[in-house]
């Protein structure tokens, strides 16, 4: 693909980004609203001599990814909320074994079978563990098709550099919509050397991939090592976006599609003299705590999510009780509108906060 | 336990920004910036010569009809044309179980400015290819909006059309006359673009040609005829 | 005049959402007729699948639960063990029963759970847009096998779950049927009745596979789909009693 602009859906852009990043292994399972991802790979992987597998379940798929990753290869799986729940054991294992992988969650309404509408109800699952044990995965949340593409390429790089899973967290709206996209052909920044990979113990000591540490104190030592790694990532790999928030009085904190919808609301409010702005976390883990604390000082805060309020807890922690935080949320596959956001902010101006 | 090849082996670089640790990813890729600049992202920059007035133009269109009438495709063709004309575009289909045998709808937003929500609550234009979809989506058409209606399969009679600009086209009949009922969607697109010239006729036909080349070149002629009939046509 | 045929009582009298030519409507009717004729409606509990029949409980006038995708046989096990006098049946598609649910199906069968399984095999994933199923035929084009399913290319052979379950000693009854003609429909009903009767008589794990058409994702008309079953599908999936 040349460096021109084409129309592509979010789902397909993520799949193509994986190909561009050198991913040659994908295992997945059908679930709405991410079916376009496995269907795209079914066509595209043979073109690049890669492997596409429709696994028997999401659980099998994450374990296939584990295998491909253990061999040192870039591997991806995708699903939507209920399927991501199935993958949690595998994600914990990938984390404990320090294996890189990219997992895509195209969120739908929940809990349970829910519906196929867009949602952001898996924030806790993605950023606070989801699986068992003391681990984190890198979580990136795009809000445009172009960003979904770019962040997917970055996710492979980050997963390799830090030897851990990375997740692309989108909602069904971004997965299904089409927008112009520049497909880059510049190679991503491959970690070429993976001496830990299982490639056959020729001329070297055998490599072992394990997360089991039975010796006295060994597991604590390993956990300390993981935590050191996570602290380093929290210092270095934070990504966020600011929109007209230097002089704003009301700060919207939002990610993914609601953040994008907020931009329209902000422009509209500014026309009537109300100074609103946006702080958009792009890395949900590591969460941009310090940057938000700085930007949010002395401002009225409105968190907008397609959930009953999950990221809001991280926002409150970052602001350390120094500002009052209001919330606007929709659940069940419903999408907050510009009008709702505008009305909420106008209401906030009326109050004495 | 020594683990060779971990992130700690990556050589440290001189820190240009004091007290700000460098992202290992950005060290490798040479990017300096920590955050995205929304206004500078790689979306298409609109061509300023297309602006006809000081305030930016946004057109929100809901295309609707039954599954099988080519609703998604007609919106996709227009999206492609608009993108090539330098506009911002978002295209959002109805998906999943909603589509099975019932009404299909596609939301298309075309703008000179970056687009916020692709989800349209109140449309500037509603294109209704059949009666059930007209009934279902007419509440989503704003006052003063445009209603493009396929009169072969839908009648506007029962609706309150005060303040609505009505564009009528017997799209299905014209398509059958041309020899292929499936091109009713292109007939309708022609009628729409004649009433709201958001892209030029020539730009549309040029883009249609490119799309046909990619899918099936033999389809170009009949689709072009269908579009022109709609563009020049009467109700 | 005596009424000799009417809408089954257990089948709710509403229009279903299924595609034209889909087999689900017909199979729902047969199951409901059997439940009416055996007089078990008030002690029947059904488990609906994840698949096109996910909303089956809108069409059935008896207790029904959803189950996570593939887990119906495990849910059925729980329901039956605590209420052995109730009639528990699952209604599952090919993905639900033979892909993600393989382990649950095999182990419920191996334990000899006294339940009834209605397995609707249309060789494709309809609900999610036409992806490959474990029972998709070799060479069949689907959304995830765009060049046709290639067993030699690690895409698997059509899975014959009934034959696999036949080796399990605790399984009581396995039969494969198809809906292709009025005569075959009567045969499907007979098999379904036998499977429910076995549960009433405590005979053990009983499963009826019904080969069913999916005109939408087979890209065939309803009539062509029935012919396709008769002429092609039955070659891979022969009909008859397997255990």
pLDDT digits 0-9 by tens, B160-211: 777 889 999 999 999 999 999 889 999 999 999 999 888 889 999 999 999 8
- Out of A12-26, A312-326, B17-31, C41-55, which region has the weakest mean confidence (pLDDT)? B17-31
- Sequence-separated (6 or more) residues with CB below 8 Å from residue B182: B70, B175
Interface of B with C in 95-154 (CB under 8 A): 97, 100-101
* CATH 3.40.50.300 at A241-350, yes or no: no
* CATH 3.40.50.970 at C24-241, yes or no: yes
CA-wise closest residue to C234 among C164, C179, C174: C179
What per-residue confidence (pLDDT) applies to B215? Answer: 84
What is the rounded distance in angstroms from the CA atom of residue B188 to the CA atom of residue B150?
A: 7
Task: Find tokens 């920004």 and name the residue.
Answer: B17
The residue among B47, B75, B118 with the most chain A CBs within 10 A of its CB, best to mutate, is: B118
Strand partners, A5: A182
B100 to C216: CB separation less than 8 angstroms, yes or no: yes
Q: Per CATH, the architecture of B58-232 is what?
A: 3-Layer(aba) Sandwich (3.40)
Contact of A310 with B94, CB cutoff 8 Å:
no
A39 to C99: CB separation less than 8 angstroms, yes or no: no
A30 to C95: CB separation less than 8 angstroms, yes or no: yes
What per-residue confidence (pLDDT) applies to B24? Answer: 64
C127 CB within 8 Å of a chain B CB: yes
CA-wise closest residue to C77 among C101, C93, C54, C55: C101
Six-digit token pair at A266? 């902000």
CA-wise closest residue to A161 among B3, B1, B6, B12: B6
- Please give the biggest Cα pair distance in chain B: 81
Chain C nearest CA to A162, separation (Å): 32
Chain C nearest CA to B97, separation (Å): 7
pLDDT of A185 > 90? The answer is no
CA-wise closest residue to A31 among A108, A143, A102: A108
Radius of gyration of chain A (CA): 21
Interface of A with B in 57-96 (CB under 8 A): none
Six-digit token pair at C165? 């379950």
B24 to A263: CB separation less than 8 angstroms, yes or no: no
CA-wise closest residue to C231 among C181, C191, C187: C181
**Strands A276-281 and A240-243: what pairing?**
antiparallel
The residue among A37, A57, A68, A79 with the most chain C CBs within 10 A of its CB, best to mutate, is: A57
Cβ contacts (< 8 Å) between B118 and chain A: which residues? 173, 177
Residue B28: phi, psi to the nearest 5?
-75, -35
Give the model's confidence band at B124: pLDDT under 50 very low, under 70 low, under 90 confident, else very high: very high
pLDDT of B47 > 80? The answer is no
Please confirm whether the linkage preceding A78 is cis (ω < 30° from 0).
no
Run of H or E residues at A123: helix A123-127
Six-digit token pair at C13? 């009298």
Q: Judge if ipTM > 0.85.
A: yes
Run of H or E residues at A118: strand A115-118
Burial of C16 (0-12, 13-18, 19+ CB in 10 A): middle
- Please give the biggest Cα pair distance in chain A: 73
Give the model's confidence band at A187: pLDDT under 50 very low, under 70 low, under 90 confident, else very high: low
DSSP assignments along chain C, one per residue = --------TTB--S---PPTT-SHHHHHHHHHHHHHHTT-GGGEEEEE-SSGGGGGGGTBSSEEEE--TT-HHHHHHHHHHH-TTSEEEEEEEHHHHHTTTHHHHHHHHHHT-S-EEEEEE-SSBTTTTSB--TTPPTT--BTTBTT---GGGTT-PPP-HHHHHTT-TTEEEEEEEE-SSHHHHHHHHHHHHHHHHHHHTT--EEEEEEE---HHHHTS-HHHHHHHIIIIIHHHS--EE--
Work out how many CB contacts closer than 8 A connect A with C.
52
* CATH number of the A5-236 domain: 3.40.50.970
What is the rounded distance in angstroms from the CA atom of residue B79 to the CA atom of residue B214?
A: 16
Task: Find tokens 């300390």 and name the residue.
Answer: A224
Give the model's confidence band at B159: pLDDT under 50 very low, under 70 low, under 90 confident, else very high: confident
Cβ contacts (< 8 Å) between B40 and chain A: which residues? none
What per-residue confidence (pLDDT) applies to B53? Answer: 41
Residue B198: phi, psi to the nearest 5?
-75, -25
Which residues of chain C are under the pLDDT cut of 50? none
**Strands B141-150 and B123-128: what pairing?**
parallel
pLDDT of A252 > 80? The answer is yes
Cβ contacts (< 8 Å) between B92 and chain A: which residues? 173, 176-178
Q: What is the DSSP letter of A306?
A: S
Run of H or E residues at A265: helix A256-271
What is the rounded distance in angstroms from the CA atom of residue A40 to the CA atom of residue A46?
A: 11
Share of residues in chain A with pLDDT > 90 (%): 90
Q: Domain residues of chain C, as ranges?
A: 24-241
> Rounded mean pLDDT of B139-162?
87
What is the rounded distance in angstroms from the CA atom of residue A169 to the CA atom of residue A180?
A: 20
What per-residue confidence (pLDDT) applies to B162? Answer: 79
CA-wise closest residue to C228 among C134, C124, C99: C124
> Rounded mean pLDDT of A132-159?
96
B56 CB within 8 Å of a chain A CB: no
What per-residue confidence (pLDDT) applies to B28? Answer: 45
Q: Domain residues of chain B, as ranges?
A: 58-232
What is the rounded distance in angstroms from the CA atom of residue C123 to the CA atom of residue C134?
A: 7
The subunits that touch chain A, with at least 3 C-beta pairs less than 8 Å apart, are B, C
CA C221 to chain centre: 22
Contact of A275 with A135, CB cutoff 8 Å:
no
A49: left (phi over 0), alpha (psi -120 to 50) or beta: left
The model carries a pTM of 0.89
pLDDT tens for A94-123 read 999 999 999 999 999 999 999 999 999 999
Chain B nearest CA to C128, separation (Å): 7
Cβ contacts (< 8 Å) between A178 and chain B: which residues? 76, 79, 89-92
C147-153, long-range: CB < 8 A, 24+ apart:
C147/A46
Give the model's confidence band at B44: pLDDT under 50 very low, under 70 low, under 90 confident, else very high: very low
What per-residue confidence (pLDDT) applies to A156? Answer: 96
C20 to B100: CB separation less than 8 angstroms, yes or no: no
Cβ contacts (< 8 Å) between B88 and chain A: which residues? 180
A309-317, long-range: CB < 8 A, 24+ apart:
A310/A120, A310/A121, A310/A123, A310/A124, A311/A120, A311/A123, A311/A253, A311/A255, A311/A281, A311/A284, A314/A127, A314/A284, A314/A287, A314/A289, A315/A253, A317/A289
- Please give the biggest Cα pair distance in chain C: 62
Chain C nearest CA to A52, separation (Å): 9
* Stretch(es) of chain A classified as CATH 3.40.50.920: 241-350
Cβ contacts (< 8 Å) between A80 and chain C: which residues? none
Six-digit token pair at A44? 């595209």
What per-residue confidence (pLDDT) applies to B67? Answer: 78
Interface of B with A in 143-202 (CB under 8 A): none
């Amino acid at each position: 693909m040349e460096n021109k602009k084409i129309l592509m859906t979010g789902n397909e852009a993520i799949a193509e980004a994986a190909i561009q990043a050198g991913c040659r292994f994908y295992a997945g399972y059908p679930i709405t609203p991410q079916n376009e991802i496995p269907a795209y790979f079914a066509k595209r992987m043979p073109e690049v001599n890669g492997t596409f597998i429709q696994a028997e379940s999401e659980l099998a798929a994450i374990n296939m990814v584990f295998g491909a990753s253990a061999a040192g290869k870039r591997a991806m799986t995708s699903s939507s909320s209920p399927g991501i729940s199935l993958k949690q054991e595998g994600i914990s294992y990938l984390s404990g074994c320090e294996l890189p992988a990219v997992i895509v969650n195209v969120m739908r309404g929940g809990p349970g079978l829910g519906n196929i509408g867009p949602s952001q109800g898996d924030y806790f699952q993605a950023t606070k563990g989801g699986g068992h044990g003391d681990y984190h995965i890198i979580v990136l949340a795009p809000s445009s098709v172009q960003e979904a593409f770019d962040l997917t390429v970055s996710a492979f790089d980050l997963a390799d550099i830090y030897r851990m899973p990375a997740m692309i967290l989108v909602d069904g709206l971004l997965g299904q919509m089409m927008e112009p996209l520049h497909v880059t052909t510049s190679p991503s920044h491959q970690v070429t050397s993976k001496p830990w990979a299982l490639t056959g113990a020729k001329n070297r000591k055998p490599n072992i991939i394990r997360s089991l540490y039975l010796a006295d104190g060994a597991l604590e030592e390993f956990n300390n090592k993981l935590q050191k790694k996570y602290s380093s990532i929290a210092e270095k790999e934070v990504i966020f976006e600011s929109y007209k928030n230097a002089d704003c009085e009301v700060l919207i904190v939002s990610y993914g599609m609601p953040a994008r919808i907020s931009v329209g609301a902000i422009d509209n409010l500014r026309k009537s003299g109300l100074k609103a702005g946006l702080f958009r976390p792009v890395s949900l883990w590591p969460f941009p705590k310090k940057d938000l604390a700085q930007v949010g000082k002395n401002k009225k805060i409105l968190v907008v999510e397609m959930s009953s309020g999950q990221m809001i807890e991280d926002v409150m922690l970052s602001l350390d009780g120094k500002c009052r935080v209001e919330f606007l949320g929709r659940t069940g596959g419903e999408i907050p509108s510009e009008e709702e956001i505008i009305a909420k902010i106008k209401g906030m101006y009326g109050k004495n906060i | 336990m020594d683990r060779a090849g971990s992130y700690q082996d990556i050589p440290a670089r001189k820190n240009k920004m004091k007290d700000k640790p460098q992202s290992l990813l950005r060290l490798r890729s040479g990017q300096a910036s920590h955050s995205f600049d929304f206004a500078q992202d790689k979306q298409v920059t609109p061509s300023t010569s297309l602006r006809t007035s000081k305030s930016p133009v946004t057109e929100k269109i809901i295309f609707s009809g039954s599954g099988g009438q080519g609703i998604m495709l007609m919106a996709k063709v227009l999206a492609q044309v608009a993108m090539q004309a330098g506009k911002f575009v978002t295209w959002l289909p109805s998906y999943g179980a909603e589509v099975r045998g019932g009404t299909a709808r596609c939301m298309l937003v075309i703008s000179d400015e970056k687009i916020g929500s692709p989800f349209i609550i109140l449309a500037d234009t509603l294109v209704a290819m059949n009666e059930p979809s007209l009934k279902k989506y007419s509440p989503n058409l704003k006052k003063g909006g445009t209603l493009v209606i396929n009169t072969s399969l839908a009648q506007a009679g029962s609706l309150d059309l005060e303040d609505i600009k009505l564009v009528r086209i017997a799209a299905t009949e014209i398509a059958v006359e041309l020899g292929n009922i499936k091109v009713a969607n292109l007939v309708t697109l022609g009628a729409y673009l004649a009433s709201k010239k958001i892209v030029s006729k020539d730009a549309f036909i040029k883009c249609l040609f490119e799309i046909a080349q990619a899918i099936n070149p033999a389809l170009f002629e009949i689709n072009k005829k269908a579009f022109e009939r709609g563009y020049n046509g009467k109700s | 005049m005596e009424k000799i045929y009417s809408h089954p009582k257990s089948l709710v009298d509403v229009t279903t959402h299924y595609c034209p030519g889909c087999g689900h409507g017909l199979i729902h009717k047969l199951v409901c007729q059997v439940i009416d004729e055996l007089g078990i409606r008030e002690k029947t509990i059904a488990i609906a699948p994840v698949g096109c029949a996910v909303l089956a409980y809108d069409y059935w006038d008896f207790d029904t639960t959803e189950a996570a995708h593939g887990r119906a046989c495990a849910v059925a096990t729980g329901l039956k063990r605590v209420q052995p006098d109730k009639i528990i049946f699952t209604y599952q598609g090919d993905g639900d029963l033979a892909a993600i649910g393989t382990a649950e199906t095999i182990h419920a069968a191996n334990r000899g759970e006294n339940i009834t399984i209605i397995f609707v095999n249309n060789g494709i994933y309809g609900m999610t847009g036409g992806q490959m199923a474990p029972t998709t035929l070799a060479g069949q084009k689907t959304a995830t096998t765009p060049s046709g399913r290639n067993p030699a290319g690690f895409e698997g052979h059509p899975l014959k779950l009934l034959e696999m379950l036949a080796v399990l000693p605790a399984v009581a009854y396995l039969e494969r049927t198809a809906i292709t003609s009025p005569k075959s429909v009567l045969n499907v009903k007979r098999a379904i009745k036998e499977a429910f009767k076995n549960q009433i008589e405590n005979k053990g794990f009983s499963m009826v596979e019904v080969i069913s058409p999916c005109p939408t994702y087979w890209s065939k008309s309803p009539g062509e789909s029935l012919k396709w079953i008769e002429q092609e599908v039955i070659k891979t999936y022969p009909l008859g009693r397997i255990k």
